[in-house]
Amino acid sequence: METPFVTLDTWTLIFTWVNLLILFLLVKKLFFKPIEKMLEARNAEIEADYSKAKNAQLEADSMREEYEEKLSGAQEKAEKIVSDAVESANLRGEAIVKEAEEKATGMIERAEKNIEAQREAAFNGIKNDVAQMAVDIARKIIEKDIDENDHEELINKALEGLGGSDE
């Protein structure tokens, strides 16, 4: 009798299934549980990292909002400082211009008073000179009886003397 190339033996099949079941239980006990624990630990770590990242994102958003508020406040402060400085500079500039105008007005008034005083002094000086000249002419006329030519010559000399005193 010839033996078939592939045979199915019931006992071999049962032993194979029993060996497979034992092998499965051993692998499950030795490999699956530690691997499952390792996967659970890794999953918990990932969840913790995800939670930390989410918290960090929320904190960063909060800090960004706070920074934007502070930046806005700083910009408002800077604008206020600049506007106050401009206003102060304008007021100071106006005060300086007003003070300069007052000084210029005062100087003009003093110059006008000085000119008026000098003009009056010159006028009084001329008046005194003319009066003195009239007295001198009168004295010379009284001292000497003169004719028309002498009188004219005397006036010319007096005028020359007046012109000479200016030089």
Please write the tens of the pLDDT for every residue from 144-158: 666 677 767 777 787
pLDDT at 49 over 50: yes
Please state, rounded to an integer, the average pLDDT across all residues of the chain: 85
Cα(103)–Cα(154) distance, rounded to whole angstroms? Answer: 53
Are the C-beta atoms of residues 162 and 129 closer than 8 Å to each other?
A: yes
Residue 6 inside a domain? The answer is no
Structure tokens at 31: 């490999």
Residue 136 inside a domain? The answer is yes
Q: How many CB atoms lie within 10 A of CB 47?
A: 10
* Number of residues assigned to the chain: 167
Residue 2 inside a domain? The answer is no
Averaged pLDDT, 4-33: 86
Are the C-beta atoms of residues 106 and 114 closer than 8 Å to each other?
A: no
The larger pLDDT score, comparing residue 145 to residue 167, is at: 145
Digit-coded pLDDT (tens) for 78-129: 999 999 999 999 999 999 999 999 999 999 999 999 999 998 888 888 877 8
Structural domain count, the chain? 1
Q: Which of 7-16, 61-70, 105-114 has the lowest mean pLDDT?
A: 7-16
**pTM of this prediction?**
0.38
The pLDDT value recorded for residue 59 is 94
For 53, the domain range is 13-166
Residue-wise burial string across 64-103, b where 16 or more C-beta atoms lie within 10 A, e elsewhere: eeeeeeeeeeeeeeeeeeeeeeeeeeeeeeeeeeeeeeee
The larger pLDDT score, comparing residue 167 to residue 116, is at: 116
The pLDDT value recorded for residue 150 is 72
The pLDDT value recorded for residue 111 is 93
Amino acid, single-letter form, for residue 7: T
The pLDDT value recorded for residue 21 is 96
Residue 162 inside a domain? The answer is yes
Averaged pLDDT, 23-30: 87
Residue 43 inside a domain? The answer is yes
Rg over CA atoms, the chain? 63
Round to the nearest angstrom and report the end-to-end CA distance of the chain: 174
Instruction: Kindly report the backbone phi and psi dihedral angles of residue 3, in degrees, each rounded to the nearest multiple of 5, phi listed first.
Output: -95, 140
Q: How many CB atoms lie within 10 A of CB 136?
A: 13
Residue 29 inside a domain? The answer is yes
Averaged pLDDT, 54-76: 92
Residue 4 inside a domain? The answer is no
Amino acid, single-letter form, for residue 107: M
